[in-house]
């Protein structure tokens, strides 16, 4: 985990989307990652639209601790709740929190990184200073402390995770912007009288999108891990809402008599992170200009 | 180097401000935290007296500097539940976490570097795939899942659960202490081994394609010596950098792992503080952790200068 400064190589922008998609689908790991992410995405959509076989929080004491069967695909837990439905709802919960957190971190981090790198001066000093301060905290610890400050619900957890990832996006954006602002066409655009903010959004931002896309995928996998760790420690989404981390926490005393209560959420959280990591690796290769034109 | 130290000091000051703001953002204050619901029964006069006692009637900036002054004099606050000062608590818990961190890093290097070299020795071969799969597993399996599973399986199948007994300090019972450290450092070490493995693989592949390796080979340097001295020696810089970067993961992961294996380290101290709403304990401990993180980053920088002749010469 926390290989947080991985970046893609700077790629000139342009409409080569199809070629990139083709490159992504050609890389075996990228394809596998994409399939895993799509399957789990569909699972969380089923949960979001209430299409699960059972209510994930409805208790059914007579049916407790049943092994996997045709009726309960992943068995039932100590309260007779259907583990499959709970896992699906847990994936949805995890996906929601991670997506909101990373979206927030991407918007704020990219904007601050752009401003710091493009305008330099005071704004760069302030933004880089704040980034250094946030980087002085171990990521999980920062999320943990922030989660303890807020009133806990899915949104505040997402904000806590987002704050941890904002500095990563700032650092990943600022570096390439620093070199882009010295490139001729950016200077030319400035000299034609376009406003500086226009140049920043029109000519600089499109050229760092591939870096940001890769960072988003990798950050999603860390956000999933962080959310699961927080809920394992009892600082994530409050019960009875199902979360993969708290399901594993509850299952730890049942592993001897009902291993499926641990295996199902554990396997799914690993699968989700593997999928996002593979997709991130595949995207990095596909967006790397050095791989362009390869058959 | 002086600039680097000054920057670290500035960052630490920022960290203190951030922690202080976080302390103020929590609903309630020391009075409500200490008295709980009974705080509602205070008369306005009592309330005022307590506020004056805790210094809450002072402007924020005064409060900040008096808090900072306290920290510099070693007064990190008092834990009502443990009936000990935070400084005393930290003096007991920090060595546990440092021991855990050192063992984890040693294990991570022992797993990651050979695995990375194995992978790089024949790219795109089955052994490379093996290395990559182990690396991906390290990146993707959450520490809490691995720790819980290991503990449950080993305890129920083999009756091996040294952490079930009370924690033994190294000086009191070294043998039991080492057994208690084994599983937690394996879990943390496995997590860090993955990025170390990937870095080693990339670095070795890149270095092997250099002219000086071909020259060394042509001069007849034996393969073993070539690997150890010429290839690994040059790969050390990125490996050390990556290991230093992983320290943050280690300190965060320590919270999880110490909790699962009942190690009384600094991560557990934070978590207990959060669970028992002892905010002074949480803030001071978080500050100490951030301080150690900044120091480790600085040390990594120093080490980096020592092993990289180019940086040394510059």
What is the pLDDT at residue B34? 62
Q: What is the pLDDT of residues B193-220, one digit of tens each?
A: 999 999 999 999 988 888 888 898 888 8
The enclosing domain of A145 has a CATH number of 1.10.3720.10
Q: What is the pLDDT along chain A (295 residues), one digit of tens a residue?
A: 444 444 444 444 445 677 777 877 777 888 999 999 999 999 999 988 888 888 888 888 887 888 888 888 888 888 888 889 999 999 999 999 999 999 999 999 999 999 999 999 999 999 999 998 998 888 888 888 888 877 788 898 999 999 999 999 999 999 899 988 888 888 888 888 888 888 888 888 988 888 898 899 889 999 999 999 999 998 888 877 889 999 999 888 888 888 898 999 999 999 999 999 999 888 888 887 666 555 4
Find the CB nearest A277 among B139, B255, B293.
B139
What is the pLDDT at residue A294? 52
Could you give the 3-state DSSP secondary structure of residue B132? helix
Residue A114 lies in a domain: yes
Please, which residues have CB within 8 angstroms of residue A75's CB and are 6 or more apart in sequence? A65, A66, A67, A68, A69, A83, A258, A260, A261, A264
DSSP code of residue A208: G
Residues of chain A positioned with their CB less than 8 A from the CB of B266 = none
Alpha-carbon torsion (A88, A93, A98, A99), positive or negative: positive
Quote the CA–CA distance of B193 and B105 in Å, as a whole number.
8
Contact between B143 and A229 under an 8 Å Cβ cutoff? The reply is yes
CB contact under 8 A, B270 and A141: yes
Quote the CA–CA distance of B139 and B195 in Å, as a whole number.
7
Token pair listed for B197: 């493995």
Find the CB nearest B152 among A228, A235, A252.
A252
What is the pLDDT at residue A71? 84
Question: Which residues constitute the domain of residue A102?
Answer: 89-289
Q: What is the pLDDT of residues A65-117, one digit of tens each?
A: 888 888 888 888 888 888 899 999 999 999 999 999 999 999 999 999 999 99
Residue A156 lies in a domain: yes
What is the pLDDT at residue A55? 85
Residue A192 lies in a domain: yes
Could you give the 3-state DSSP secondary structure of residue B79? strand
Residue A117 lies in a domain: yes
Residues of chain B positioned with their CB less than 8 A from the CB of A3 = 139, 195, 198, 242, 245
CA terminus-to-terminus distance, chain B: 12
CB contact under 8 A, B142 and A146: no
Give the residue on A whose Cα is nearest the Cα of B138.
Answer: A1
CB contact under 8 A, A138 and B140: no
Token pair listed for B145: 């899942």
Find the CB nearest A277 among B10, B26, B140.
B140
Alpha-carbon torsion (A88, A46, A240, A276), positive or negative: positive
What is the pLDDT at residue B31? 63
CB contact under 8 A, A132 and B7: yes
Residue A253 lies in a domain: yes
CB contact under 8 A, A248 and B259: no
Residues of chain B positioned with their CB less than 8 A from the CB of A94 = none
Could you give the 3-state DSSP secondary structure of residue A77? coil
- Tally of CA atoms within 13 A in the half-sphere of B223 that contains its CB: 1
Taking the CA of residue B238 and the nearest CA in chain A, the distance in Å comes to 13
Find the CB nearest A148 among B17, B141, B274.
B274
In whole angstroms, how far apart are CA A273 and each of A228, B193, B274?
A: 11, 17, 28
Find the CB nearest A133 among B11, B198, B259.
B11
CB contact under 8 A, A225 and B142: yes
Residues of chain B positioned with their CB less than 8 A from the CB of A273 = 139-142
Residues of chain B positioned with their CB less than 8 A from the CB of A1 = 139, 191, 194-195, 249
Residue A30 lies in a domain: no
CA terminus-to-terminus distance, chain A: 32
* pLDDT tier, B233 (very low <50, low <70, confident <90, very high otherwise): confident
Find the CB nearest A141 among B18, B255, B294.
B255
Does residue B270 have a pLDDT over 80?
yes
Interface predicted TM-score of the whole assembly (ipTM), two decimals:
0.84
Residue A236 lies in a domain: yes
The rounded percent of chain A whose pLDDT value lies above 90 is 41
Give the residue on A whose Cα is nearest the Cα of B198.
Answer: A3
What is the pLDDT at residue A15? 53
Mean pLDDT of B78-107: 89
| Span of A9-23, B276-290, B297-311 with lowest mean pLDDT | A9-23
Q: How many CB atoms lie within 10 A of CB A2?
A: 24
What is the pLDDT at residue B116? 93
CB contact under 8 A, A273 and B249: no
What is the pLDDT at residue A263? 92
* pLDDT tier, B314 (very low <50, low <70, confident <90, very high otherwise): low
Q: What is the pLDDT of residues B12-22, one digit of tens each?
A: 889 888 888 88
Mean pLDDT of B279-283: 80
- Chain A and chain B share a number of CB contacts under 8 A equal to 141
Taking the CA of residue B218 and the nearest CA in chain A, the distance in Å comes to 30
Token pair listed for B84: 């000990």
Give how many domains chain A has, as a whole number.
1
Nearest residue to B282 via CA among B72, B103, B25: B25
Residue A105 lies in a domain: yes
- Rounded to 5 degrees, what are φ and ψ at A76? -125, 160
CB contact under 8 A, A3 and B152: no
């Amino acid at each position: 985990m926390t290989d947080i400064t991985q970046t893609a190589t700077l790629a000139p922008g342009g409409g080569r989307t199809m070629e990139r998609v083709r490159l992504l689908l050609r890389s075996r790991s990228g394809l596998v990652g994409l399939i895993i992410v799509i399957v789990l995405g569909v699972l969380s959509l089923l949960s979001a639209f209430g299409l699960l076989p059972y209510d994930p929080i409805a208790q059914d004491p007579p049916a407790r601790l049943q092994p996997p069967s045709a009726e309960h695909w992943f068995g039932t837990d100590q309260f007779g709740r259907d583990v499959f439905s709970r896992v699906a709802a847990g994936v949805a919960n995890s996906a929601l929190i991670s997506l909101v957190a990373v979206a927030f971190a991407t918007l704020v981090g990219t904007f601050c990184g752009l401003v710091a790198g493009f305008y330099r001066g005071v704004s760069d000093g302030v933004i880089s200073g704040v980034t250094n301060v946030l980087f002085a905290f171990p990521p999980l610890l920062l999320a943990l402390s922030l989660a303890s400050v807020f009133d806990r619900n899915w949104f505040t957890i997402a904000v806590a995770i987002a704050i941890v990832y904002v500095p990563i996006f700032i650092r990943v954006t600022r570096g390439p912007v620093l070199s882009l602002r010295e490139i001729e066409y950016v200077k030319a655009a400035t000299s034609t009288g376009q406003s500086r903010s226009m140049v920043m959004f029109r000519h600089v931002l499109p050229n760092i999108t591939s870096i940001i896309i890769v960072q988003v995928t990798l950050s999603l996998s860390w956000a999933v891990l962080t959310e699961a760790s927080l809920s394992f420690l009892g600082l994530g989404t409050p019960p009875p809402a199902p979360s993969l981390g708290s399901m594993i926490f509850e299952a730890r005393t049942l592993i001897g008599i009902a291993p499926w209560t641990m295996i199902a959420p554990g396997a799914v959280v690993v699968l989700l992170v593997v999928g996002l990591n593979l997709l991130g690796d595949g995207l990095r290769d596909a967006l790397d200009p050095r791989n362009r034109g390869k058959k | 180097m002086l600039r680097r130290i000054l920057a670290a000091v500035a960052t630490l000051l920022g960290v203190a401000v951030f922690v202080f703001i976080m302390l103020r953002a929590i609903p309630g204050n020391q009075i409500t935290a200490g008295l709980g619901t009974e705080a509602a029964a205070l008369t306005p006069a009592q309330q005022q007296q307590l506020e004056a006692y805790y210094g809450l009637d002072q402007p924020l900036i005064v409060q900040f500097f008096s808090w900072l002054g306290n920290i510099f004099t070693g007064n990190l606050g008092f834990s009502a539940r443990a009936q000990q000062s935070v400084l005393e608590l930290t003096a007991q818990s920090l060595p546990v976490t440092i021991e855990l961190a050192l063992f984890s890093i040693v294990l991570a290097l022992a797993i990651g570097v050979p695995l990375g070299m194995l992978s790089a020795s024949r790219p795109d071969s089955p052994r490379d795939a093996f290395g990559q799969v182990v690396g991906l597993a390290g990146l993707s399996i959450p520490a809490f899942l691995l720790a819980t599973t290991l503990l449950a399986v080993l305890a129920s199948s083999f009756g091996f659960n040294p952490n079930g007994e009370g924690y033994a300090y190294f000086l009191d019972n070294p043998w039991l202490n080492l057994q208690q450290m084994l599983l937690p450092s394996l879990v943390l070490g496995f997590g860090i081994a993955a990025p170390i493995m990937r870095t080693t693989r990339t670095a070795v592949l890149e270095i092997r394609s250099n002219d000086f390796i071909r020259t060394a080979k042509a001069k007849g340097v034996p393969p073993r010596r070539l690997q150890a001295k010429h290839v690994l020696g040059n790969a050390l810089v990125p490996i050390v950098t990556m290991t230093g970067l992983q320290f943050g993961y280690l300190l965060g992961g320590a919270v999880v792992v110490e909790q699962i294996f009942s190690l009384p380290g600094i991560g557990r101290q934070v978590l207990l503080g959060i669970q028992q709403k002892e905010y002074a304990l949480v803030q001071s401990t978080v500050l100490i952790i951030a301080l150690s993180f900044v120091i480790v980053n600085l040390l990594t920088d120093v080490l980096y200068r020592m092993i990289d002749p180019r940086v040394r010469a510059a």
